Amino acid sequence: MAGIGFELRKLLKRDSYFSLLQTYAYAGIISSGPWVLSILAVLIIGIISVPMVIPNILISQFQVCITYLIALSLIYTGLTQLAFTRYCADRIFEKEHYRLMPNLIGLLFLVTIVGGLVAFPATYLLFPKNTLYFRLLFATTFVMLSAVWIGAILLSGLKAYKAILLNFASGYGTSLALVLFLRMWGLEGLMLAFLTGQFVLLMGMLIVVFKNYPSRVIIEFDFLRNGRMHLALVFIGLFYNLGIWADKFVFWFHPYTGSNVIGPLNASEIYDLPVFLAYLAILPGMAVFLVRMETDFVEYYDRYYDAVREGGSLSYIKEMKDEMVRMAREGIYDIIKIQAIATIAVFILGRALLETLGIPTVFLPLLYIDVAGAGFQVVLLGILNIYFYLDRRRRALSLTMLFTALNILLSLLSIMMGPFYYGYGFAVSLCITIMCGLFVLDRDLTNLEYETFMLQ
């Protein structure tokens, strides 16, 4: 389960500034590469399609469709993402590797069937003015994206980050190549190119799983047995993904900030672009998050629980606990410090960046607050990750539910207060959630030995 941690530790052992820089660059690419590739690929598809796709509104419609498909498929598969990751981790811990591949196929089967039964009728009814071909492509892409997230779940749980990155690169590279030939077909051509790339991406991930975890059984539903999937993780995955997209949906469908683009799908011209740019600024924070969590924290986490399971001395257990707690706190503080530096850099260079991209500087205040909010999201991810390692599922569930509720309510309030406050709902909801999380986490880490032995 610590493959990426071994590689990062190997780089750090060289004990030089270059190796340190190499480690964080590697971690940043591995942790952020897939979604950066996704965002850039959709943008590049739009750019290279401009000369051929007429009218140009079709490019905006394509980008809005893909954004909704990604959002809805993430929320849908959020019901299984964390729960199935935990299932895979449990099977590996119990040396039941042979169950991974057939149960992945079983989950893919269920997600595909249920997603298809919902997506195809809904798409047919909600897009009456679009062609049947477009509606079939839209629904099929939703199902395919859902399958991609499920495949990525297992590879993420196995810490096969390089395999994920390489497959995302090949999948979106295929989409970009096909766009050159299919763009003259308009919106349907762009959708077909994107769908084909997702199919290549999914097949690549499945090949990696099949090679590493072969099984004589093709399909299995062992994960549905009682006690195999933790219900709290089901809702954590749902609320986390819902919370991430909550402010976007509020701005898309509020009459003051949203406008219709295609079918029932809205977009928010004033909100969407700054949020996109802000998410590109969290790469440094994600790099620090991966390095600190997968090296220092995990090392002492393993030592602490190994000592507990194997009957280590009380003094050694306390020592390892203190080191683990120190690494957890330092990891979160480092994420905050690095992301603060990235935020300050955007504050300094933001105006020049917008001018270079040809974006009106009126978006500057919203960009600033969105960058801060995106940085807070990385901190929340760090807190949740520690709770997952400690198996404190109720704590993580409470934080994700709080984040979702606050993001919806405060985003609505920010719209009512006026354009100057746009984006504050997202940032403030994360800030409040982080403060609550840090307060409770500090108390839980202080009482860790007592809770560990009481739960044995």
| Percent of residues, the chain, with pLDDT higher than 70 | 85
Are both 426 and 366 inside the same structural domain? yes
Q: In the predicted model, what is the mean pLDDT of the chain?
A: 83
Look at the alpha carbons of 375, 376, 382, 385 in this order and tell me if their dihedral is positive or negative: negative
Q: What is the per-residue pLDDT across 147-169, written as a single tens digit (0 to 9) for each?
A: 988 887 767 656 666 777 788 88
Report pLDDT for 142. 96
Q: What is the per-residue pLDDT across 402-451, written as a single tens digit (0 to 9) for each?
A: 999 999 999 999 999 988 899 999 999 999 999 999 999 988 888 777 67
Are both 202 and 303 inside the same structural domain? no
Q: Which of 196, 229, 262 is a domain's end point?
A: 229
Could you give the CA distance from residue 116 to residue 106 in angstroms, rounded to a whole number?
A: 15
Are both 319 and 436 inside the same structural domain? yes
Are both 201 and 291 inside the same structural domain? no
Task: Give the closest residue to 157 by CA, choosing from 249, 85, 231.
Answer: 85
Are both 313 and 410 inside the same structural domain? yes
Most confident listed range (24-28, 176-180, 199-203, 351-355): 199-203
Q: What is the per-residue pLDDT across 249-259, written as a single tens digit (0 to 9) for each?
A: 999 999 999 89
Residue 1 pLDDT > 50? no
Is residue 386 included in any domain, yes or no? yes
Is residue 11 included in any domain, yes or no? no
What pTM does this model have?
A: 0.87
Domain that holds residue 340: 273-450
Residue 175 pLDDT > 80? yes
Lowest average pLDDT, out of 14-28, 56-70, 72-86, 107-121, goes to: 14-28
Are both 282 and 420 inside the same structural domain? yes
Q: Which of 196, 213, 229 is a domain's end point?
A: 229
Report pLDDT for 2. 40
Is residue 455 included in any domain, yes or no? no
Is residue 22 included in any domain, yes or no? no
Report pLDDT for 15. 60
Number of domains in the chain: 2
Q: Which of 229, 253, 283 is a domain's end point?
A: 229
Report pLDDT for 306. 84
Higher pLDDT, 129 or 56: 129
Is residue 241 included in any domain, yes or no? no
Lowest average pLDDT, out of 99-113, 174-188, 273-287, goes to: 273-287
Q: What is the per-residue pLDDT across 3-62, written as a single tens digit (0 to 9) for each?
A: 445 455 555 555 655 555 656 665 666 655 556 667 667 777 666 665 665 566 888 888
Are both 58 and 198 inside the same structural domain? yes
Higher pLDDT, 362 or 188: 188
Are both 36 and 142 inside the same structural domain? yes
Are both 282 and 207 inside the same structural domain? no
Is residue 294 included in any domain, yes or no? yes
Is residue 282 included in any domain, yes or no? yes
Is residue 252 included in any domain, yes or no? no
Higher pLDDT, 314 or 423: 423
